[in-house]
Structure 1
Amino acid sequence: ATFLGGNFTADNDTEENCLSISTRQKYWFNVDCSMELPFICQKLSFDALSAPVMEMKPRYADVSAGSQPRKQNVYFVGDQVNVTCRALRVPSGKLVWTFQNKDGSPSQDFPDLDKFTDNIVETIIHENMCVHQTVSTFSTAAVKEMTTGYLSCYSVRYPTDPPCSDSGDPLEFCVRSHQFKVLEAPYKGPDLRITFSEPPATVIESETLVAECEVYPVEDGSLVWMILHPNGTSRVLENNTNPEITLATSTEKEGKRVIASRLEMTVEKAFDGSRIACFSYNISKSDTQECRASDTFCAISPTIH
């Protein structure tokens, strides 16, 4: 009570329910809450703090089959792993990162993630308001020890908090990646050969298109054929369901497992503008169905006419 000014009245006045301080008299006063006054600091409420959003782009995402499919972010050893998290109104201007094992225990290989992360704070327009956004990036080279582990980033985290559950509850103020799967890169890229009726990449309707591919598959991988149509659709050709695949053998070459396959298809008008690709992993279980000319785990033909 020593610091209450003479004008302070604890009478439950409905018009003076806010507290202010007189910088001249150094006492507290109750005032009308509609009065606009300067402030020294403002404590941010959890209602204003946002849960982070995570962005990452692995080589491909492996999705297991079954009623409850499991997704893994697949990288090759040595690939650059870049993961970005964004969150609004983070009081410290810094997001907290953890790397945990499959069972939720802290990873001994990544005990301190500060040396792998970078934080910047920028001002953006959000819902017609200027707000601070923290952008934090985790960056490192992929190593085998990351396999089955996962990254989490937090807007706010206390030492006693449990690991991020990835439940989607915004009040956890965290987001968790899918599991990592880090593989040795293929020994060599696929060798794709196609016989065309006329160059360049021209075939004749009703003739037989012949394609041969040889791959060094990734771990637990196989050779998979795919036809990519110009309208963005695609079709996976699997050995046990498509009669076009006339040969599929698995041997060893230079001490490495090699799969060779031969594809024979009757040319149709719908082939115009399409491309044929062969992959050294099970793309039929993956949500990534892209093949670039520079990829080391797939090979793609020129556009067929």
Structure 2
Amino acid sequence: MVAIEVPEVEYTDYTNRQLVAIPLAVLAVALLILGGWYLATGAPADLGVEFTGGAELRLSASETSDLEMGTPEARAALEDPDTFSIEPSSIQYAPGDETYIVTFRPEDLPEDAGSGDFGDIAGEAEAAGFAVTGEDIVSASFGSGVQTQALGGVVIAFLGMSVLVFAMFRTFVPSIAVVASAFSDIIIPVAVMNLLGIDMTLGTVAALLMIIGYSVDSDILLNNSVLRRTGGFYESVQRAMRTGVTMTITSIAAMIVMTIVAWVFGIDLLRDIGVILAVGLCADLMNTYLLNVSLLRWYSFEGVSR
């Protein structure tokens, strides 16, 4: 087994302003990206069919076709601009069913698509050598309802986490440090999603909820070590880092492996979740051991505890 050596950081060489400058600068850039995206599209991130509505085709190989599902040739046939008269918004491969899930934006669909008639889209897929095994229409109103529920779930999870943290520490600065770190850990991956073209779907929302859990875990580990255990401030920070950094780096490595495997096998959802979690965990390392440490040090040496 490979042992992870966590080097000791000489925090005394840096002021609190220097420590907090990097995570705040990254957070500011992420917020600018989300703000620009909102001004350009009306949403802080690109939304998937579950949230906007649209059409979904499930395609398998036709009995008369030489195409094999999951091969580069099959995907290239779907991505060929001559295959569909309407450009798909996403193409995902489901290896368990050996099918492709092709989605279309609601504004691109024919007027009669709302009644379940896909017009020429299904015929175009069959002409390209695929068999249509499923058709589904998500109305814009239903997508809006799902969007509200998903957003509500994230907000409730974040608020619940905040209440729990304040109940545990009962002091403002250590508690706000955990909340600020968790907030940044969510905002940064969403900004990266926009830059990489990853849509906000129910799967990616689940990944963001997982990031909240990871963030709270590492931050509470640090706060407990500093506030509730014996030893000096820097000794307590290093003690927390030996456990927290090892845990986070191991998780990042696992997410990178999952992302590579999912990319090789064409499992787009798992690939996206792996990217989001890897980015979120990297952001958590930065926020926990720069932003959180700087706030805890100010609280311990200059704040209300003195």
Give the strand-richer structure, 1 or 2.
1
The TM-score normalised by the length of structure 1 is: 0.21
Answer 1 or 2: which has greater helix percent: 2
The structure showing larger relative contact order (alpha-carbon pairs under 8 Å, at least 6 residues apart) is 2
